[in-house]
Structure 1
Amino acid sequence: MAADTALPGAPTRWRNWSGNQRADVAAVRPSSVDDVAAVLCSAAEAGRRVRPIGSGHSFSAIGRPEDVQLLLDELRAVTVGADGRVTVGAGTPLYRLTAELCRRGWALTNLGDIDRQTVAGALATGTHGTGARFGGLATQVRALQLVTPAGEVLHCDAATHPEVFAAARVGLGALGVVTAVTLQAEPAFALHAVEGPGTLTAALEQFEALMTSTDHVEFYWFPHTDATLLKCHTRMPLADGLDPLPRWRAVWDDEILANGAFAGVVAAGRRVPALVPPLARFSARALGPRSWTDHSHRVFVSRRRVRFLEMEYAVARGDAPAVLAELRRVHEAGDWRTAFPVEVRLAAADDIPLSTASGRDTAYIAAHVPAGTDPGPWFGALEAIAGEVGGRPHWGKLHGLDAAVLRQRYARFDEFLAVRDRLDPDGVLANAHLDRVLGPAPGR
């Protein structure tokens, strides 16, 4: 792709997964690193902005293009080394990567509960799973390839361009276009899953003991009730054998109840808001206790067919019970209709400048509303309560903070900005959202 023909012409229509971010934008699909460099150089010369995009699973406007959209889905090569280091093209979806690793006897250490994202997109926004001893996906990165707006291709790791490597592991797509990533996998393992009902009261009283009781713990609280759905997953050697859910049970629980019936609950609640509280009680009781053992990636991930909007805040682990208690109090005091449960997870501290777990053991608290609805005061309540304890918003999810506030929440915020300002001084890779959360590039 020659530089003078790298930029596309006629716009195409784009929307993200939840439908709340849309744009009519010129799009280009590079098939090589050289193509990416040509697009960026041409955009810089023309004074146009470029946003790379993955699968569009962010709810925030972080990926929303203004001039040119860079689609990376042709960069999908996967190379697995004998030591479990896997180098993967930026546009590879996580579900394809985990399947390939499993086939070769490897697995990622941890995963989020959705695997439709591309590798680069998941890293850029700080995707994480749960587990008190385990970091987010970015902690598994060992090297990355980054194309700057000047067209320079940087190969970064802890020894080469270390300051770029440190920042770009959760880079918001603001430092350059990540075209390939090297992750450290581990020998494939199984997870033994035990899932069933609990209560928010018990979870708050025994939060630390509960959330560290097995390797990977999370729970969902159903507003309008005290009920929770608790998921406890224990790492097991594959040699101990697998005991997956019977096909009928997996379809009944995960497709008919968790997606089909829940879609009906959400639709009924939108038509008749007064039905939401009793429907929430139904949802809390719908999924009964179950246990099984399967390959790790099959247990970590859940299917999400009901579309929604999400806000998630990361708070210091010790603050989570108080935040949840206050969220419950505010919900009970208000006249809200909340059909979706609140999700609670953990992550270990890491050393990545703009990771939501940077420098502290972290609890994540996520609220949801149906796609196409106004989150209104419900999201506002979570943001205000989490803000009282220095909460950090997930980069790919909805929030209202700007650079002035975020600088106070991240000790290494200016370290990240120094890298951004050096690599992209003219804001070629920015958009209005990044201008808000990072501040404008110095050349704009």
Structure 2
Amino acid sequence: MSDRTDFHFEAGELSCEGAGLSALAEEFGTPLYVTSRRSLVESYREFEAAFASLPHLTCYSVKANFNLNVIREFGELGAGCDVNSGGELYRALQAGVPSERIIVAGVGKRPDEIAYALKSGVLLLKVESLSELRAIDRIAGEEGVVASVALRVNPNVTAETHPYITTGDSKEKFGIDEAELPGIFSLLGTLHNVRLIGLDMHIGSQIFDTEFYVAALTKLLDVFSYARGAGFAIEYLDIGGGFPVTYDPMKPATAIERFAEKLVPMLKETGAKVILEPGRFLVANSTVLLSKILYKKSNHTGKKFFVVDAGMTELIRPALYQSHHEVLSVRQHDQRVVADVVGPVCESSDFFARGREIDDAPEGGLLAVMSCGAYAAVMASNYNGRLRPAEVMVDGGESRLMRRRETLEQLTAHDVFTPRSL
């Protein structure tokens, strides 16, 4: 189940693999990201089991959570990585993932990032435009190599998800439009420094309906047939990620097995090796964000607020996507209250929950914002001069620091005072 979790209440206190969250907050401070290693491993195994009958490579989508320890866990389990920048490529390599298991995506790759990927010996680069294909050919020639590439096809399938995380619609910036494909294939026949080995699609994130994948894959398979008929030896079919997880218990995600049941038969017929790019699926429910209640207040209407020491700088998804995250009191209480859980940042969108019924925890108590393993720490910022939190991994009840809390000195480490004219 994609909504599995290794966070449970034991004797009235929320714990991670048996480690009490109160003790972790006391040791490492708040705000604090706490990750369950067991959750990472089991989510990966669940995903692999669903697609086991296919010859495939699972490339963890690093953008979801790029902590080196998280990347390393998946790499040691046999995964590759899907990276979207030179920085993500660097992180994947630093975490020990072999370059031949790394694929490079991104709609706006800089020339230096393309060169870095080629020098690193990655499996392939995904091409998202005619101009980019020409750039890769030129840079590969300068480096004296032949670049292995895959075409990212925009299947023009609008999946039912938040508009900011749909990527397979022709109105969006991603991929190559169907109408451009003949020109792309024609150009490929004239280039000497690129080799087409794959086709790729990605239609978005948090997609609950399997039929959107079926519709997009049907279009990709049409392109596959055309490409092979034109003489291109397509070795890989990359169907992207976007598989859903449960954030709201009232809206459970579609099981990964349902997607496999639909997609595996279609893919088996091709004889190609399949690339899958799960990110959120593997990490979302592995992590909680611990926060301390600084103040409780109410206004003249009786509306109640819990003001906590974490905010949109640590988890921007509610502000950016209006996304739901469960908020639990680390210690259970008999009384419940309806309140807004808000952060300290000077923006009205700085909240984790509005009008939510939660335990009536006291000031100084701890709240856990659930499902913060994906697109939380990676999107954290220093807005309002805030320090990015520490990150801790729990493994069998033992905890270890996997990212230090930022310091005030680090906030200004890259600032340079410019000379003043006399």
* TM bin (shorter chain): under 0.3
Q: TM-score, structure 1 length as denominator? A: 0.23
> Which structure is higher in RCO with an 8 Å CA cutoff and minimum separation 6?
2
Q: TM-score, structure 2 length as denominator? A: 0.24
Larger radius of gyration: 2
